[in-house]
Amino acid sequence: MRDFVVKDITLAKEGRNRIEWARRQMPVLQLLRARYKAEEPLAGVKITACLHVTVETANLILTLRDGGAQIALTGSNPLSTQDDVAAALAADGVHVYAFRGENEQEYYACLDDALAHGPEIILDDGADTIARVHERAITGIIGACEETTTGVIRLRALSAAGKLKFPVIAVNDAETKMMFDNRYGTGQSTLHGIMNATNFLFAGKTVVVVGYGWCGRGVAMRARGLGSKVVVVEANPRKALEAHMDGYYVLPMKEAAKVGDLFITVTGDISAIRREHFELMKDGALIANAGHFNVEIDIPDLEALAVARNEAKAEVMEYLMEDGRRLYLLAEGRLVNLAAAFGHPPEVMDMSFANQALCVRYIVEQQGQLRNEVYTVPKELDEQVARLKLDALGIEVEELTAEQRKYLSSWDLGT
């Protein structure tokens, strides 16, 4: 078994410095780390994590390790690994298998290396590891956590088919994850990635946001904040109505395609932008994805329509259409916020990864009690993360009186 696979171990010092920088912006995780170090609730537990290898993830991994866990880490996307972070973790004895720019074969070889450590718990982001374990009938797993919307959708489908082999906690669905990481994290980091790749001016432009879940809400909000006219494309009627009342234009993709200067997909679904839409786009349109997989923009359709392809600059591929229009695909249609920027800021990942750390402990403590289903994060844990974050921010919340609490749990007091 390979001990670790990273691009360049000499990057470790830079990685350590950046991990330490992020640590200071992750107070809830720091607090849990100190607690886990003292209590060792994960003593001897084997974990395979498939996450974006970033400074924030490194702080989660070190928290779990201080809690006694033995960890193997692989990247959850071929373009999201920060090579200095992978080097720092490897130099500090973590089994890391990840480097930026993996091809599909290398991606799965890394994943298999991480699985060869014989995990009892899996931390997944996108459900590739959990899917692999099911395909290969790997046993010995007591539970898993899933970090992202796309992964949760896949796992709910696996569960609905009656094939899920162990309990999974949908960390993504915790309120302290979704409302902050998905909304403010994706909102900011997606625009950061697009600006890094292109220096695009948002003011005065028409930005089409495809998908209005928590991520889409965040992206739309931030694009509007920078002065763009925002169009939302959404198939769910409740969410489309919400986008309308939030003050955005709501259009079907075939209409939005004609007016957008920039398109951003955040749907969790396949082919949200495809041939019939590329055919309608304006010359110079930029197309980016912030959803987990590179399937939301139909790249094979774009390739088939193009008469020529040229790398305009790093992270920007130009596609020349037969009629002379040029369309620009960012970061190969992969998560633009991680491929062309740093991913979400540590302040929001603090809450997401505090949920992860708490849920891993919960799985260990509940071993044998949970069914093979997709669970939401227990309310007490979600609320604990919110309270710890408020404490860290020095924000005091209102305490209800005994009378108010009683009123809220009674039915007899009316008009």
If we measure between CA atoms, which residue out of 326, 309, 361 comes closest to residue 145? 361
DSSP 67-109: TT-EEEEEESSTTT--HHHHHHHHHTT-EEE--TT--HHHHHH
Q: Where are the beta strands (DSSP E) in 79-182?
A: 95-97, 121-124, 143-146, 168-170
End-to-end CA distance of the chain: 71
Taking CB under 6 A as the binding criterion, the range among 1-9, 46-54, 218-226, 311-319 that sits at the site for ligand ADE is 46-54
Find the shortest distance in angstroms from Cβ 282 to ligand ADE.
Answer: 30
Find the shortest distance in angstroms from Cβ 348 to ligand ADE.
Answer: 8
Q: Nearest 5°: phi and psi at 168?
A: -125, 135
The CA distances from residue 234 to 221, 231, 266, 272, in Å, are 15, 10, 10, 10
Find the shortest distance in angstroms from Cβ 26 to ligand ADE.
Answer: 11
Find the shortest distance in angstroms from Cβ 120 to ligand ADE.
Answer: 22
Query: Any contact of residue 347 with ligand ADE (CB under 6 A)?
Result: no
- State how far the Cα of 27 lies from the Cα of 122, in Å rounded to an integer: 24
Q: Which one of 6, 27, 54, 317 is in contact with ligand ADE (CB under 6 A)?
A: 54
If we measure between CA atoms, which residue out of 290, 123, 128, 127 comes closest to residue 214? 290
Find the shortest distance in angstroms from Cβ 343 to ligand ADE.
Answer: 3
Query: Any contact of residue 274 with ligand ADE (CB under 6 A)?
Result: no
Q: Which one of 18, 23, 33, 52 is in contact with ligand ADE (CB under 6 A)?
A: 52
Kindly tell me which of 167 and 345 has the beta carbon lying closer to ligand ADE.
Answer: 345
| 382 CA to centre of own chain | 18
Query: Any contact of residue 57 with ligand ADE (CB under 6 A)?
Result: yes
Find the shortest distance in angstroms from Cβ 305 to ligand ADE.
Answer: 31
- State how far the Cα of 96 lies from the Cα of 329, in Å rounded to an integer: 30
Residue nearest to ligand ADE (CB): 343
Taking CB under 6 A as the binding criterion, the range among 49-57, 298-306, 360-368, 375-383 that sits at the site for ligand ADE is 49-57
Residue recorded with tokens 């078994």 = 1
Q: Which one of 11, 18, 42, 56 is in contact with ligand ADE (CB under 6 A)?
A: 56
Query: Any contact of residue 63 with ligand ADE (CB under 6 A)?
Result: no
In contact, 265 and 210? CB cutoff 8 Å: yes
User: How many residues bind ligand ADE, per CB under 6 A?
Assistant: 10
| 155 CA to centre of own chain | 15
Q: Phi-psi bin for 189: left (phi > 0), alpha (psi -120 to 50), beta?
A: alpha
Q: Which one of 16, 292, 344, 389 is in contact with ligand ADE (CB under 6 A)?
A: 344
Query: How is residue 187 written in tokens?
Result: 């909102």
Kindly tell me which of 188 and 206 has the beta carbon lying closer to ligand ADE.
Answer: 188
- Which residues ranging from 349 to 368 are in contact with ligand ADE (CB under 6 A)? 349
Query: Any contact of residue 343 with ligand ADE (CB under 6 A)?
Result: yes
Query: Any contact of residue 341 with ligand ADE (CB under 6 A)?
Result: no
Helix, coil or strand: residue 113: helix
Kindly tell me which of 21 and 407 has the beta carbon lying closer to ligand ADE.
Answer: 21
Torsion 360-364-370-371 (CA) sign: positive
Find the shortest distance in angstroms from Cβ 57 to ligand ADE.
Answer: 5
Q: Which residues bind ligand ADE (CB under 6 A)?
A: 51-52, 54, 56-57, 185, 338, 343-344, 349
